[in-house]
Structure 1
């Protein structure tokens, strides 16, 4: 799973409540534009969010141009 914050339609409005911001606090405070998760990591983040332990991923990709 590739999370590209630069193309997220929720950027700015929901960053503070997104798991990407939660996971990258203090680690990369100025570079939150792109995070890559493998399938196992994405499943783990989803499980943590479903349990209420971390905020969910708020990524909303824009529709693809035809």
Structure 2
């Protein structure tokens, strides 16, 4: 009566991936092929954009640009 469900992925593939990820000498959050984009590039882009907008806001406030009458 109790049927065994087939796994989502074959065990051989899972073991291959585990060996691959366990043997890489990099940090855990940089082990995948696209992890540099999500862990490094996106935060740097967000920080750069926010610094630019903060700088622009300070510049506009110091010169009185964009004030509402």
Short-chain TM bin: under 0.3
TM-score (norm 2): 0.24
The structure that is strand-richer by fraction is 1
> Which structure is higher in helix share?
2
Please give the TM-score of this superposition, normalised by the length of structure 1.
Answer: 0.25
| Structure of larger gyration radius | 2
- Bigger RCO of structures 1 and 2 (CA < 8 A, at least 6 apart): 1
